[in-house]
């Protein structure tokens, strides 16, 4: 009997019916360690369960998701559900209905131990974080040359800031030797010192696939780097030790490229605004200074005459003071001369003679100098220093007086 060819949709639908009717797969209970754990915006949860040799993709619908369990990557669980096929992709997955917590996976335990150790040593301390240059001339990228990461980074950088030079140090991003490759890349850029920023990146993956970025040797190389490092490992929900040690963590490699570079359009816009502000400021400063200069000249012109008049007034004051000084000096000299002359005249004055004990004889207010000017019984006034005496001449004697 000839069997007709089935379409892909018919084949996937047939496989789905087979799996759904299998009594074991319809009510399957498995145990494993969670990886690739993600809560979708719809509320559905996507994850993988793995053991040492294999893994299976799983889905928990939001109605079956118990948030109180606080499940996450590295947690070992026992999951109960059914295996079915997602017909569009032809992939099978476990639809989980119930979960029991079994324990934490070994890698997750190691992750937390190393995280605590490095945190206690201060490797996560913000004070050691270097600033990411705002306008780098060159960016070093440590990642695989064949993956989509480098393409995404190049596309974003060329779109945002095409002036920057991109220098790739190709490494293996998973596997036993990848940690040494990554350390060599960091060492290379630090020794050559020809880049401003380093982006350390790779795409998403399970905790095993990202483990190279959880190695202590890599963490210490990132911490010791003199060049700022942006860690861009995995997707937004993935965290590695490098994310905590690096100077900045980016949720994705594309986001790292955005963090590392400015947007040229914004720079040009800001420069244009700065230029406009500078021009306006220059015009304002020029106008203000022009007004100040004009005002200053006006003040000079207004005060110039006043200063000249003031100078003349001062000169007049000085001339007045000089004349006044000369007059006062002359007056003082004349006063001294008059006093001296007065002293001489006083000494020659009859009053001065009287003060020395002599007296003046007067007759009818006339001074008598000789006996020939008086007669017997004349009334005479004798003037003394403190008064006068009225007397009558009783006797006249003639006698030579030596003068």
Q: For the segment 313-361, what is each residue's pLDDT rounded down to a tens digit?
A: 777 778 888 888 888 888 888 888 888 887 776 666 666 666 666 777 8
How far apart, in whole angstroms, are the C-alpha atoms of residue 308 and residue 55?
A: 104
CA distance 62 to 40: 9
Q: How many CB atoms lie within 10 A of CB 101?
A: 12
Q: Which range (165-169, 181-185, 245-249, 284-288) has the least confidence?
A: 284-288
How much is the pLDDT for 307? 67
- pLDDT the model gives residue 349: 65
Full-prediction pTM beyond 0.85?
no
Among residues of the chain, what percentage have pLDDT more than 90?
37
Check residue 141 and give its pLDDT: 96
Q: Is the pLDDT of residue 103 over 70?
A: no
Residue 27 makes CB contacts below 8 A (sequence gap 6+) with 80, 82
Per-residue pLDDT reduced to its tens digit, 199-217: 999 988 777 888 999 999 9
List where CATH 3.40.50.261 sits in the chain.
Answer: 111-265
Q: If you average pLDDT over residues 230-235, what whole number do you get?
A: 89
Architecture label for domain 9-104: Beta Barrel (2.40)
Q: Does position 239 have pLDDT exceeding 80, yes or no?
A: yes
Mean confidence (pLDDT) of the chain: 86
pLDDT at 400: 61
What is the pLDDT averaged over residues 156-179?
92
For the domain made up of 111-265, give the CATH fold: Rossmann fold (3.40.50)
Indicate whether 391 pLDDT > 70. Answer: yes
**Residues carrying CATH 2.40.50.140, the chain:** 9-104
Average pLDDT of the segment spanning 60-89: 87
Q: What is the number of alpha carbons within 13 Å of residue 255 lying toward its C-beta? A: 14
Looking at residue 245, its pLDDT comes to 96
Is residue 402 scored above 60 in pLDDT?
no
pLDDT at residue number 183 = 96
- Using DSSP, state whether 25 is helix, strand or coil: helix
């Amino acid at each position: 009997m000839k069997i007709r060819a089935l379409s892909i949709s018919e084949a996937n639908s047939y496989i789905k019916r087979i799996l759904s009717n299998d009594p074991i797969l319809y009510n399957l209970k498995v145990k494993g360690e969670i990886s690739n754990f993600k809560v979708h915006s719809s509320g559905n949860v996507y994850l993988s369960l793995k053991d040492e040799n294999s893994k299976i993709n799983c889905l928990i619908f939001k109605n079956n998701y118990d948030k109180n369990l606080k499940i996450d990557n590295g947690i070992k669980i026992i999951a109960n559900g059914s295996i079915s096929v997602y017909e569009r992709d032809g992939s099978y997955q476990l639809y989980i209905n119930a979960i029991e917590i079994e324990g934490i996976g070994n890698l997750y335990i190691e992750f937390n131990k190393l995280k605590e150790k490095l945190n206690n040593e201060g490797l996560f301390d913000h004070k050691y974080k270097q600033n990411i240059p705002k306008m780098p001339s060159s960016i070093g990228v440590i990642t695989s040359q064949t993956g989509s990461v480098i393409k995404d980074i190049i596309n974003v950088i060329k779109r945002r800031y095409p002036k920057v030079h991109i220098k790739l140090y190709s490494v293996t991003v998973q596997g036993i030797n990848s940690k040494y490759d990554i350390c060599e890349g960091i060492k290379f850029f630090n020794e050559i010192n020809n880049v401003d920023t380093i982006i350390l990146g790779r795409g998403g993956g399970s905790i095993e696939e990202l483990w190279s970025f959880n190695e202590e040797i890599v963490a210490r190389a990132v911490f010791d780097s003199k060049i700022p490092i942006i860690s861009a490992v995995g997707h937004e929900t993935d965290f590695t030790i490098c994310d905590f040690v690096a100077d900045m963590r980016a949720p994705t490699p594309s986001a790292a490229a955005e963090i590392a570079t400015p947007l040229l359009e914004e720079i040009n816009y800001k420069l244009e605004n700065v230029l406009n502000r500078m021009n306006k400021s220059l015009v304002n400063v020029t106008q203000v200074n022009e007004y100040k200069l004009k005002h200053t000249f006006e003040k000079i012109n207004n005060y110039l005459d006043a200063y000249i008049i003031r100078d003349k007034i001062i000169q007049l004051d000085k001339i007045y003071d000089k004349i006044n000084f000369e007059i006062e000096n002359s007056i003082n000299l004349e006063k001294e001369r008059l006093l001296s002359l007065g002293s001489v005249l006083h000494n020659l004055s009859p009053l001065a003679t009287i003060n020395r004990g002599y007296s003046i004889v007067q007759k009818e207010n006339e001074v008598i100098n000789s006996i020939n000017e008086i007669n017997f019984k004349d009334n005479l006034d004798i003037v003394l220093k403190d008064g006068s005496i009225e007397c009558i001449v009783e006797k006249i004697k003639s006698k030579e007086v030596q003068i």
